[in-house]
Structure 1
Amino acid sequence: MTLLRNPVIRGFAPDPSMVRVGDWYYVATSSFEWFPTIPLHRSRDLAHWEYAGHVEGAVPGNSLAGVPDSGGIWAPSLSWDGERFWVVYSIVRSVGTPYFDTDTYVCTATEVGGAWTAPRRMPSHGFDPALFHEDGRLWLLNLQNDHRPGGNRFAGIVLTELDRETLMPLGDTHLLLQHDRLIEGPKLLRHGGWYHLVLAEGGTGFEHGVRVARSRALSGPYELDDRPLRTSRDDPSVPLQKAGHGELVRTPDGDWVLSHLTARPLDTPKGPCCTLGRETAIQAVTWDADGWPRMRQGGVRPAIEVEVPTRPDPRVSEPRGSLGWPWSTLRAAPDPTWADPAARPGWIRLRGRHGPESLWAHSLLAQRITEHRAEARVIVEARPRTFTQAAGLVLWYNTESYLSLDLTWAEPEGEGQHGQQWRGGGRTVLSLVERDEGMTRQAAVVEVDADRPVLLGVTTEDAGARFWYEADGARTFVGPELDFGRLSDDHGTKLRFTGAMAGIHAVDLVGAAFTADFRGFHLTCG
């Protein structure tokens, strides 16, 4: 037996879809507007996970430019047909509207870390697609969306058989199940003579859960279990909240486990907030005398420590590559035209482009924050000549919520903001900025030496963040403690599905030519 500790994949890793092939377990997670698209992890013992690659080329044209915050790739579903891996997913281009404007695609590969086929479009009833393989046949499950006024945006689960080669529908689409509580994220498996439909229930927030329905016939009708398989919505004191979106997997010895998303909220005066986003967890499952899956430890609440029927295997390899994982970028993969690790040995050179609220071309490299205490630091060398140029260290959630400490230009001390001072003058400063929905505030300005690199840092402790810089070995805090809790799934009025990141960025709003060099970026969590 192996004792695992949840979450097993920590920090922004939601909607886990798990499959076992041989001795390996593989998990695909949502990437939304971030690249690399559809991160993949693997493990032999369910406790120790390593990055195994991603579905490269999942986005036609390799660009999500213009996709809104928390749009992009939702809930990929990973499966194995005995010969190759399949991943099916939706690209969501409208968030918070009746029209999700989804495009559903599928890619295949013989190895998770190998080359994936170019995406092929499939019927797009709604988001959260999944595939079911049986006896050489292929079916597509989907959430059905009814966008009409008065319609139900979560109008049930549908099933369509597809031709395995052309991916064209064969026959009619079947409505499997509708429910008065929101259901989505369908996964299908056969066990004990039943088809079991594993569903995400109640939305992705604190009401989330996993519900199971079953039928003797693939196309239904399906009956719902009278209680959830797993949820934390009935007890806000449970450390693992938002426990939903699950998938059942059988071990080689015939035992069962459940992958699911979860979150570790902080208690704040404004209520619970999940700055780390939604993460991946695993539970042990048994089947009761009536043929329903149940949590092995009893009840429906997720456990932090779980014994799973595997042999411990803590071997984990760290990915290598100057701009590879764990780096992530917004809406496109890193490109040497704006992120160049070769321009100066030992440094990363960023060329400034759009501002941080752009949905198109923000020069940002970031890494996931995985614990409630973290520290990021980096040395930056740049010579901004105008207030339209900036480069520095950023804590990022999305274009509406971020905190940044940037090396930039400002007017001489005591002089107001009058636009560019075209005839020279001015100062090189560190500008501390916080962005919240509809509001951007400069929290502090500190003058620094324009001719020397500067070490920037930030420390997060629970819901607070303090930025600082070092000069001549002395650490100096910049401005007050800022509200890191704003960089969470639960802040604001809009839908939020990702997680907080720490990274580096550069901006040049006029010439798109200003460059900044960064060295020694290091993120420590825990």
Structure 2
Amino acid sequence: MSYIKNPILPGFNPDPSIIRVEDDYYIATSTFEWFPGVQIHHSKDLKNWRLLTHPLTRKSQLDMIGNPDSGGIWAPCLSYHEGTYYLIFTDVKTLIGPFKDTHNYLITAEDIMGPWSEPIYLNSSGFDPSLFHDDDGKKWLVNMVWDHRKNKNSFGGILMQEYSSEEEKLVGPIYNIFKGTDLGLTEAPHLYKHNGYYYLMTAEGGTRYNHAVTVARATSIFGPYEVDPTGPILTSAGNPELSLQKAGHASIVHTQNNELYLVHLTGRPLKPSMNCNLGRETAIQKGVWTEDGWLRLAGGGNEPQELVEAPNLPEVPFKAEEEIDDFTQNELSIQFNSLREPVSEDWASLKQRSGFLRLFGRESFSSAHNQSLVARRQQAFTVTVDTAVEFEPETFQQMAGLVYYYNTRNYYYLWISHDEELGKSLGIMSNHRGAYDEPLETPVSIEGWEKVYLKADIHYEKLQFSYSKDGITWTAIGPELDASKISDDYVETKVGGVLLDQGFTGAFIGICAQDLSGRRKHADFDYFRYQERGNSL
């Protein structure tokens, strides 16, 4: 018997929406403020996955300039009907405080690889929208509704409204079809139809350690919906010994052989901090329909399993990704992401110097607008990342280097800059919940070095930066840093019960350049290498 080892999409890949089209399986996941928008992974066997494409690649489709940390793309829903792929997503403009500005859109394509259409605006009443194609030809949008009023449940239920493909808009009455259970925080709705019942799958309990998957059913799409009497079908709540925590936000798929699988969000916390620096990941469980028509985990119970029986399908592994991007191609590796805007020749050029990525210095890490930063997800607990950079700063306001990044208020940065006494030099900066620091007492002079090699070794909760003149002999710089702080769990900040910061992404490691003088001083990066050493707790 073959088994699938969870998670199937390690690193920051939350809110999975899965479909099957003939013999191909696709999962769409959230990307938040990172560009391009929405990751789509592909598999033939539910066991082996590869990052395939991003449907939101143009600023005309997605303009996130000014979006807050952890705003942007929340909970995409991917579906397929009569030769067309449909992708529903939310672009979140504000999320902290009583209000949430959440604009929901639809794009379509005839091929999963695109081209994808310009977005059709749907509504802004809440987030986590999902499109259901009923067998009578009607299409229904469901989303949670956000209620900002005092003494009201902020998670005000699941709204449903018909979508007209001909008119390209929502039409008809709006129905609140489900208010949720006592677990609360009812979100992430998906509708399914099976043996005459409509099934409404939701996430409840919040996307942290009380997360759960709830199922309710009705004979009419309008309800009333009966909640599964056994409670949530999947949760890690109250079981800190489980390797897969935060289980929730799920969707289902049937194989060609009618086997049932459920993909869901999960997190693997570091101990003892319980911080998940890899972010919220995607796992899979095998499901079954009971004789009385309820969805259950195939192995019994409702706890996520790390090893899951694979479907009766031939295995189709994919070629391992290249560890190094030497910047000799016409575009960056698909693994790279930028903040809030597409990579463009204006600030990240592969053409101006052959074999190098030239980054023009722009705004600081505090900016929600124009950062010259390209980074990739950390997808294993133990990784080594190194790069080489040629950079001749003329002022302390010009910097370039290697960054371990969560958001504008949480990061570690090994930088090259100019010091009035030391000349060209290396330093480290950190930011924890907005508290800025420089762990080195004084910068390290590298005056006269044409090229500098920079490295980050991450081993679970430990981060150590190093540097080299030749890429062979390395010298550690600065103290061992706490990598667990680059996580949703650490970032979340409350003062007097008031939420001041909240995050839903994960650790990224990348290269960047800043020029706070406005002169756009450039740095040339020779390569970027990402090596995974271990991915088990």
**TM-score band, normalised by the shorter chain?**
over 0.9
CA deviation after TM superposition for structure 1 residue 233, in Å: 0.8
What is the match of residue 419 of structure 1? none
In structure 2, the residue matched to 1:395 is 404
Structure 2 Cα separation of the partners of residues 489 and 324 of structure 1: 26
Is the 8 Å Cα contact of residues 200 and 208 (structure 1) preserved in structure 2?
A: yes
Contact 1:433–1:441 at 8 Å: present in 2 too? yes
Q: Which residue of 2 aligns with 1:423?
A: none
Secondary structure of residue in 1 paired with 2:198: strand
- 2:105 partner letter: Y
The answer for the alignment partner of 1:416 in structure 2 is none
Give 1:56's aligned residue: 56
Residue aligning to 1:452? 450
Name the amino acid aligned to 1:403.
Y
Q: Map 1:158-177; keep pairs closer than 5 Å.
A: 158-177=159-178
> In structure 1, what is the Cα distance between the partners aligned to 2:212 and 2:332?
36
Tell me how far apart the structure 2 counterparts of residues 509 and 216 of structure 1 sit (CA, whole Å).
Answer: 61
Q: Distance in 1 between matches of 2:58 and 2:195?
A: 35
Gaps spanning 5+ residues in structure 2: where?
323-328, 494-500
1:502 counterpart residue number:
509
AA at the equivalent of 1:136: G
Matched, 1:298 2:297: no
* Distance (Å, rounded) in 1 between the aligned partners of 2:283 and 2:58: 25
Helix, strand or coil: the match of 2:125? coil
Closer/same/farther in 2, CA of residues 127 and 59 from structure 1, 3 Å limit? farther
Q: How does 1:318-333 map to 2 (within 5 A)?
A: 318=321, 322-333=331-342
| Equivalent-residue separation in structure 1 for 2:137 and 2:286 (angstroms) | 30
Name the stretch that deviates more: 255-264 or 145-154.
145-154
300-309 or 51-60, larger mean C-alpha shift: 51-60
- Find the counterpart in structure 1 of residue 475 from structure 2: 476
Q: Which residue of 1 aligns with 2:78?
A: 78
CA distance in 2, matches of 1:397, 1:509: 21
Equivalent pair of 1:46/1:310 in contact (CA under 8 Å): no
The alignment's C-alpha RMSD in Å is 1.5
Query: Of 216, 223, 226, which aligns to 2:226?
Result: 223
Q: Secondary structure at the match of 1:91?
A: strand
Q: Secondary structure at the match of 2:484?
A: helix
Question: Bigger shift: 189-198 or 60-69?
Answer: 60-69
Which amino acid is 2:38 matched to?
A: I
- CA offset at residue 57 of structure 1? 4.5
Which residues in structure 2 correspond to 1:207-246 (within 5 Å)?
207-226=210-229, 227-246=231-250
Q: 2:454 is paired with a residue of what secondary structure?
A: strand
Q: Distance in 2 between matches of 1:100 and 1:55?
A: 24
1:58 Cα offset (Å): 6.8
The unaligned stretches of length 5 or more in structure 1 are 413-425
Mapped partners of 1:324, 1:111: distance in 2: 21
Whether contact under 8 Å (2:456, 2:466) holds in the other structure is yes
2:386 to 347, 362, 377: 377
Distance in structure 2 (CA, Å) of the matches to 1:308 and 1:321: 38
Given the alignment of the two structures, is residue 336 of structure 1 paired with residue 337 of structure 2, yes or no?
no
TM-score, structure 2 as length reference: 0.93
Partners of 2:58 and 2:238 lie apart in 1 by 37
TM superposition score normalised by structure 1:
0.95
Contact 1:37 1:58 in 2 (8 A): no
The alignment partner of 1:490 has SS state of helix
- 1:421 is matched with none
Aligned to 1:278: 280
In the other structure, the counterpart of 1:4 is 4
Q: Verify: 1:491 aligned to 2:490, yes or no.
A: yes
Runs of 4+ in structure 1 over 4 Å off: 317-321
Q: Distance in 2 between matches of 1:101 and 1:58?
A: 22
Q: Partners of 1:321 and 1:301 in 2: how far apart?
A: 46
Contact 1:52-1:112 at 8 Å conserved across structures: no
In structure 1, the partner of 2:525 is: 518
1:148 aligned partner: 149
Distance in 2, Cα, partners of 1:511 & 1:161 = 50
**Contact residue 13 and residue 29 of structure 2 kept, 8 A:** yes
Q: Which amino acid aligns with 1:303?
A: Q
CA contact (8 A) 2:65 2:368 kept: yes
State how far apart, in whole Å, the 2-side matches of 1:392 and 1:290 are: 59
User: Which amino acid is 1:158 matched to?
Assistant: L
Report how far residue 101 of structure 1 moved.
0.7
Q: 1:411: how far off?
A: 2.4
Aligned length: 511
Choose the corresponding residue for 2:377, options 364, 368, 371. 368
* Equivalent residue, structure 1, for 2:364: 355
How far the C-alpha of 1:137 sits from its partner, in A, is 1.1
User: CA–CA distance in 1 between the matches of 2:68 and 2:178?
Assistant: 30
CA distance in 2, matches of 1:478, 1:149: 51
